[in-house]
Chains A and B, each alone.
Chain A
Amino acid sequence: MVGRLATLAALIGLAGCAAIPNDTTVQAADMHRVWAVFIVAGLAVYVLVGGLILWSALAYRRRDPSVVQANAVHKNTPLEIGWTIAPIIVVAGLFLVTFPAEQHVENMVKRPGEVVQVVAFRWSWRFVYANEHVVVQGTTGSPPELVLPENRTTEIRLTSSDVIHSFWVPSFLFKRMAIPGIVNAFDFTPERAGVFMGRCAELCGTYHAHMSFTVRVLPADQFARWVRARSAA
């Protein structure tokens, strides 16, 4: 039965890894690795502990209904010290996986290739390319498009003009809150041209569900052409 549980866990693991979007930015590659490590470690713990629970429940089921006490064992100090230390080692290992990835994702390059100011409002987004004098603004009914250059680092300067929102591009495995009064800066480097879904991930009122946008990552030359066309308009 433990074998069957392990097979099931492996299938869930595969489905889990497949459910997480493919690598799309340099930073997402790091985060995807963290996801993979935690899914594998988590499933291993589930199979081990869940297996122990089920096995001890079934193996030691009462066979003689007149028994009131199986035995009176109630402590085993070496064992208890052992299972205190084991999880400390596991979580220390997980922290060593987490920390560098987190630093890499949150550290920002000094000279980004592109800077976009993002203003969230109920219930849409405004994208301001200040250096190029390009502004893209959506409405609740027609979501805007955030156009980004491929293989160049874009710095996002995120804020909100009313309540708290959250800027989320699931394919980039990343979100950050848009908080009024604060400019929240972060960057990412898209590695793959394409169109991705983006949306608000923090409850912001009635039409929160419709506060979406699309991200279009273009090769550098096409991005330059898009900027020229927009700034001319």
Chain B
Amino acid sequence: MSAVATTAAAPPRRLVKHGILGWLVTTNHKQIGILYICTTLVFFLIAGFLADVIRLQLAGPQQNFVSPHTYNEVFTLHGTAMIFLFIAPFGFGIANFLIPLQCGAADMAFPRLNAFGYWLFLLGGLTVFSGVFAAGGGASAGWYAYTPLSDIRVSSGIGQDLWFIGLTLTSISGILTAINFLVTPIVFRAPGMTMWRLPVFTWEMIATSLLILMAFPPLTAAFAMALMDRHANAHFFDPTRGGDPVLYQHTFWFFGHPEVYVMILPMFGVITEVIAVFSRKPVFGYTGLVLSAFAIAGLSMGVWAHHMFTTGAVNDPFFSAMSFLIAVPTGIKFFNWIATMWRGAISFETPMLFAIGFLLNFLVGGITGVMVASPPIDFQANGSYFLVSHFHYTLGGGSMFAIFAALYFWFPKIWGVKLDERWGRFNFWTMFVGFNVTFAPMLFLGMMGMPRRVYTYPAIPAWHDLNLLASIGTAIITISVASFAWNVIVSSRKREALPEDPWGSAYTLEWATSSPPPELNFDSLPPIRSKRPAFDKHHPELAHTSPP
């Protein structure tokens, strides 16, 4: 607890350097959080632009807007950037900013390790992207780079090497960051902040960090073996020398499925906080929400081979049953969120709109997820646009909507600026409509037999119509993202001093300090006597109603 004592007692010291040098050498968790958030949003814009290229190419059958090889590079980079460089590390960014604040700590447990993690992540991301400028172009073997497609005989370009190396760096970065997310809330909590008073978001990050520590090392191993195969004739995955390409799939998906939850568990935390604040009620079912995060994390370690039903090399019934079971803790979360809204006094500020959008979209992702966990359905859905739609409903309709909820919700805390509500509503509605117009048609395309990762398709009228519809939806999403950027510019111009809690009913500890917080987070810590320290501070007359 020494860090906290320092926070309260020490006179203001200038630990944070300013200017460009300040950002380069910072070990402050809030600055590192901001670096992550800004970097991942840039990667998001690039990956989104690549999605536009994909949908432009597929708007009609037999178009030649990009060449077949370029198309493969485009969707490989789109998926890689969205998954490894946007959604998961955005979670790291927001968690970096929030975890010490929510625990009442001055910083992370290991600030230098934290900074190292960010720079490793940035280096990894730039390494992946640098492949585009290499001879032979960027990686083009898809975001999971199955061998032998990604081996040196087939993908001989250096772009594939840069892809493996870059993602290995981001993987190590994730492991280092997870150590901080795990140690900080366990060791550096303020007096009164017991584990069972930690915000659900911080709990979700603890579960996420455990998953990272279990799942990222196998990914690093898979990539190391793939690189050795490429350059040292190791033959781990080479069937002509006794190796096994299915082994790569096992090691990759042993990481890959937990990774899905690394991308969604933090967002479950975001949604929990947003719904409670705008429903003006305490979180319903706190214990259930926390335990279900660990149930999801545990189960997700035993479902990897549902990505491999069509290999004919795995025990289908076992992995099917395990995957179905994940619906149970996920269901618990949904019911708790609904119960939090139940009999609330709900207002629809932009974060709440995105949270409700998240619920409705992620529900589709969850239901289609149970469908593809059934092998007889997966035999059709695997590798088709049905699957593309399914995981975009979880990661786009789910995680990305939660990311926008988080941006609107914590923007005042991070930058001291409240984003404009009218542009926010425009941003939400165009995103919600655009998203569903893009991805609902893909469910039907997949059922009808359209495979994913094809740069062109036969001129079947229904396929053309549905693809055109999906492309129109993507144009609407693009407008929506642009409106967010515009909102940031417009809102930043009219700065005004914000109170600690600009929403009026926020309750976690970060809302009990100034917006933005001072260098060491709290000029003085409020007493922590319940799960809602900020709420108790701002509404002492209602403090007795806070859950202990």
Chain A contacts to B: CB under 8 angstroms: 15-16, 19-21, 30-31, 34-35, 38-39, 42, 45-46, 49-50, 52-54, 56-57, 60-65, 67-76, 79-80, 83-84, 86-88, 90-91, 94-95, 97-99, 101-102, 105-106, 162-164, 166, 168, 170-171, 173-177, 179-182, 184-186, 197, 199-209
Chain A residues in 8 Å Cβ range of B141: 203
Q: How far is the CA of A65 from the CA of B349 in the complex (A)?
A: 13
How many of chain B's residues touch chain A, expressed as a range?
35 or more
Chain A residues in 8 Å Cβ range of B332: 80, 83-84, 87
Q: How far is the CA of A101 from the CA of B375 in the complex (A)?
A: 9
Contact B312 A208 (CB under 8 A): no
Can you name the residue of chain A whose Cβ is closest to the Cβ of B154?
A163
Query: Could you show 6 A-B contacts with beta carbons less than 8 Å apart?
Result: A46-B367, A56-B344, A60-B343, A166-B310, A199-B451, A200-B451
Can you name the residue of chain B whose Cβ is closest to the Cβ of A76?
B339
Contact A50 B451 (CB under 8 A): no
Contact A42 B368 (CB under 8 A): yes
The segment from B33-41, B112-120, B319-327, B484-492 found at the interface with A is B319-327
Chain A residues in 8 Å Cβ range of B316: 102, 106
Contact A176 B72 (CB under 8 A): no
CB-based closest 5 A-B pairs: A181-B239, A170-B449, A72-B545, A209-B454, A201-B383
Tell me if B453 is interfacial: C-beta within 8 Å of chain A.
yes
Chain B residues in 8 Å Cβ range of A54: 356, 360
Tell me if B260 is interfacial: C-beta within 8 Å of chain A.
no
Most B-side CB within 10 Å, residue of A31, A64, A84, A177 = A177
Q: Which of A39, A57, A171 contacts B356 (CB 8 A)?
A: A57
Chain B residues in 8 Å Cβ range of A206: 68-69, 72
Contact A21 B448 (CB under 8 A): yes
Minimum CB–CB distance from A20 to chain B (whole Å) comes to 5
Tell me if B371 is interfacial: C-beta within 8 Å of chain A.
yes
Chain A residues in 8 Å Cβ range of B284: 73-76
Q: Which of B313, B343, B356, B444 contacts A53 (CB 8 A)?
A: B356
Can you name the residue of chain A whose Cβ is closest to the Cβ of B275?
A57
Contact B444 A46 (CB under 8 A): no
Contact A46 B325 (CB under 8 A): no
The segment from B142-150, B170-178, B399-407, B423-431 found at the interface with A is B142-150
How does the 8 Å CB contact mask read for B264-308 relative to A, with 1 for contact and 0 for none? 000000000000000111111111100000000000000000000
Q: Which of B281, B336, B360, B383 contacts A168 (CB 8 A)?
A: B383
Most B-side CB within 10 Å, residue of A39, A45, A101 = A45
Q: How far is the CA of A80 from the CA of B447 in the complex (A)?
A: 36
Majority secondary structure of chain B interface residues (helix, strand, loop or mixed): helix
Q: Which of B343, B348, B384 contacts A70 (CB 8 A)?
A: B343
Can you name the residue of chain A whose Cβ is closest to the Cβ of B447?
A19
Minimum CB–CB distance from A55 to chain B (whole Å) comes to 9
Minimum CB–CB distance from A17 to chain B (whole Å) comes to 9
Q: Which of A63, A68, A94, A202 contacts B542 (CB 8 A)?
A: A68
Contact A207 B68 (CB under 8 A): yes
Instruction: Please provide the chain B residues from 479 to 508 with a CB less than 8 Å away from any CB of chain A in the complex.
Output: 504-505
Tell me if B380 is interfacial: C-beta within 8 Å of chain A.
yes
Tell me if B411 is interfacial: C-beta within 8 Å of chain A.
no
Instruction: Please provide the chain B residues from 355 to 380 with a CB less than 8 Å away from any CB of chain A in the complex.
Output: 356, 359-360, 363-364, 367-368, 370-371, 374-377, 379-380
Chain B residues in 8 Å Cβ range of A76: 284, 339
Given contacts A60-B344, A80-B336, 16 further A-B contacts (CB under 8 A): A34-B377, A53-B360, A57-B356, A60-B279, A61-B347, A67-B280, A69-B505, A72-B546, A73-B282, A75-B547, A87-B332, A88-B328, A99-B317, A102-B375, A174-B380, A177-B312
Tell me if B526 is interfacial: C-beta within 8 Å of chain A.
no
Chain A residues in 8 Å Cβ range of B376: 30-31, 34-35, 98, 101-102, 105, 173
Contact A63 B239 (CB under 8 A): no
> Given A57-B341, A197-B449, A74–B281 Cβ distance below 8 Å?
yes
Can you name the residue of chain B whose Cβ is closest to the Cβ of A186?
B312
Chain A residues in 8 Å Cβ range of B244: 181
Contact B377 A56 (CB under 8 A): no
Can you name the residue of chain A whose Cβ is closest to the Cβ of B374?
A98
Tell me if B345 is interfacial: C-beta within 8 Å of chain A.
yes
Contact A174 B368 (CB under 8 A): no
> Given A46-B363, A175-B383, A202-B146, A20–B328 Cβ distance below 8 Å?
no
Instruction: Please provide the chain B residues from 48 to 83 with a CB less than 8 Å away from any CB of chain A in the complex.
Output: 68-69, 72
Tell me if B210 is interfacial: C-beta within 8 Å of chain A.
no
> Given A52-B338, A74-B284, A181-B240, A98–B343 Cβ distance below 8 Å?
no
Can you name the residue of chain A whose Cβ is closest to the Cβ of B323?
A91
Contact B380 A170 (CB under 8 A): yes
Contact A53 B359 (CB under 8 A): yes
Can you name the residue of chain B whose Cβ is closest to the Cβ of A183?
B312
Contact A38 B377 (CB under 8 A): yes
